[in-house]
Amino acid sequence: MKSKTPIFWHPILETLQKCNTLKTLKKTHAQMLTTGLSLNTYPLSHLLTISYKFSLTYALTVFNCIPSPTIFLYNTLISSLTHNNQTHLALSLYNRILNNHTLQPNTFTFPSLFKACASHPSYLHYGPPLHTHLFKFIQQPFDHFIQSSLLNFYAKYGKLNVSASLFSQINQPDLATWNTMLAAYTNSSDSDMSLEALHLFNHMRLGSQIRPNEVTLVALITACSNLSALPQGAWLHCYVLRNNLKLNRFVGTALVDMYSKCGSLNLAYQLFDELSERDTFCYNAMIGGFAINGHGHEALELYRNMKLEGLLPDAATFVVTMFACSHVGFVEEGLQIFDTIKKVHGMEPTLDHYGCLIDVLCRAGQLKEAEERLREMPMKPNAVLWRSLLGAARLHRNINIGEVALKHLIELEPESSGNYVLLSNMYASIGRWNDVKRVRMMMKEHGVKKLPGSSLVEINGTMHEFLTCDKTHPYCKEIYSKIVEINRRLRDYGYKARTSDVMLDVEEEDKEGVLSYHSERLAIAFALIASASTLPIRIIKNLRVCGDCHDITKLISAAYQRDIIVRDRNRFHHFQDGTCSCLDYW
């Protein structure tokens, strides 16, 4: 007696898998209809999945013709829609499930939906209501797939406390879950989260049997980039080599970016030159490294070499290359690159590209042209562009343009202290003290407080943070004594404080004292005490370096024969033998 053909295997299903056009798919579909195979859920799920590869419309038509689709078929189509970024349709199907009194979502429904909600910022707000549906439809404890999808959703949503709580509830996180949590910390705008990523990795390495892969390493190396943590970044590089992990273009690009952002440009370029795989992203990292470290010639040369190798520049390529031009005064080159975005590459310039263009003109002192270009933009200028104009107005002492820029900035960012400080410093530099007081009053009226300067310095693998006028460090007494020694020693080099950089209601003789205790000076003084005289001093500052601190750091590098590398909010400054890599152009 012949047995029935198993529903999980049928010649027509083999034919279905081999379909390579919509025409052959329709023929196979017809065979399924005539043989009755289309009445079974399993063959229908295959038909839906393969139909979607050729035509979304056809897949939806097939689904809508099924008299009573099972939850399995709903899940199949939701998964396909999510995988192809059709989030609105996936959520629409979920609503059909809710409106169908004979169906109920199951454990396979929700992971795809959480992935869909995390796919774009406009859908994130659907996630929390879905989370409540879990408690209604799914019995606890939730399985690993639901836990992981929830964690990933909240990580993308920026709710890291929720992600961390969910992570702690997973008994044995797999590698993908560890990677999700590490990437969430690393990609957060909060710099402390990058430190948390490194702590989490230590827990993973010492407390679990999970072995990191290249995705793990990219997240960790990126965390080191954010922190300018060179020793930890170099250790990770060694970890890759020691454990025979693949130094692919993703890990390589992350390492190039890390060395660049730690101020070790030679190591960055050496690694870049040795990589067997280099794509546009890798070139962008190296061009960006040259740019933030003030090597405009090298950045432009690499940009040309990239095109000679047949790689097409993307939107980020133009940003980093124009950034390089702006920081070394290559006005013509910057304008030419901007013009090629549309004329040569057929791309519409974005707000970031216009920002670079304005910055190129501003830093070269071409404020009138910068203002004209800014007003002629096809989109509304944002605060970054007006701040570039305000900063240039301060540098070139153009009060009229500075006041115009500040007016727009107050409308866009009424609570940002940096904008007021720039204008106040501009007034102070030309002795308009009544206007300085007026700006102070404006700040009070808007409830704005000046953001305190903070600096990080790494000593023997430990990060030390200093605030302006900080007296909380255990070596506070020694640091302040060192400051006195530095000031006394630098007077022999002709140092005179730029007291106009102090926006405070204090007497003139007290202003020099205020400048002496800016956060980066405390960090440098501590490094001179606590680190070997042969080692460079590496500082990370949250604000733009002020003119007086820039002057004094150049002199310290000469007087104490120490290389000092400062990464401020905008760029790197490499101080050596009394000069700075920015050539006083920042």
pLDDT in tens, the chain (586 residues): 343 444 667 888 888 888 888 998 899 889 888 888 888 888 888 888 888 888 888 889 989 988 889 999 999 999 999 988 899 999 999 999 999 989 999 999 999 999 999 989 999 999 999 999 999 999 888 888 999 999 999 999 989 999 999 999 888 899 999 999 999 999 887 767 888 999 999 999 888 889 999 999 999 999 999 888 888 999 999 999 998 888 899 999 999 999 998 889 999 999 999 998 899 999 999 999 999 888 989 999 999 999 999 999 999 999 999 999 988 889 999 999 999 999 999 999 999 999 999 989 988 889 999 999 998 999 999 888 988 888 788 778 888 898 888 888 888 887 777 778 777 877 877 788 888 888 888 888 777 777 778 898 988 878 899 998 888 999 999 999 999 999 888 888 777 665 555 544 444 434 444 557 889 999 999 999 999 998 999 998 888 888 888 889 999 999 999 999 998 887 788 899 998 887 776 6
208 located within any domain: yes
Nearest Cα neighbor of 531 from 485, 464, 442, 439 is 464
Report how far Cα 350 is from the mean position of its chain's Cα atoms. Answer: 18
Q: Nearest 5 degrees, angle CA 329-CA 330-CA 336? A: 145
- Give the 3-state secondary structure of residue 16: helix
Q: What is the pTM of this model?
A: 0.78
Domain boundary among 277, 292, 317: 277
Q: How many residues does the chain have?
A: 586
Give the closest residue to 418 by CA, choosing from 393, 392, 452, 445: 452
Contacts with 340 (C-beta within 8 Å, 6 or more apart), sequence order: none
Q: Is 458 helix (H, G, I), strand (E, B) or coil?
A: strand
Q: Which range marks the domain in which residue 546 is found?
A: 454-580
In sequence order, what are the beta bridge partners of 465? Answer: 456
How many domains would you assign to the chain?
Answer: 2
Instruction: Identify whether 16 is part of a domain.
Output: no
Q: Which residue type, as a one-letter code, is found at position 131?
A: H
In a domain, 257, yes or no: yes
Query: Residues near 216 by Cβ (< 8 Å), separated by ≥ 6?
Result: 175, 178, 179, 182, 201, 204
d(CA 192, CA 441) in angstroms, rounded, equals 33
Last residue of a domain, one of 235, 262, 277: 277
The answer to whether 362 and 392 have CB atoms below 8 angstroms apart is: yes
Q: Spell out the residues 6+ positions from residue 20 whose beta carbon is closer than 8 angstroms to its own.
A: none
Q: Count the alpha carbons within 13 Å of 278 in the hemisphere toward its beta carbon.
A: 23
Q: Is residue 219 part of a domain?
A: yes
Whole-angstrom distance, CA of residue 68 vs CA of residue 306: 56
The answer to whether residue 315 sits within a structural domain is no
Give the amino acid at 296. Answer: G
Beta bridge partners of 537: 564
Q: What phi and psi, each to the nearest 5 degrees, are found at residue 261?
A: -80, -10
- Residues facing 454 on adjacent strands: 467
455: part of which helix (H) or strand (E)?
A: strand 454-459
Q: Does residue 244 lie within any of the structural domains?
A: yes
Please report whether residue 575 resides in a domain: yes
User: Does residue 477 lie within any of the structural domains?
Assistant: yes
Examine the fold and report which residue of 277, 311, 344 is the final residue of a domain before the chain moves on.
277
Rg of the chain on CA atoms, in Å: 30
Q: For residue 243, with 0-12 CB atoms within 10 Å meaning exposed, 13-18 middle and 19 or more buried, which class applies? A: exposed
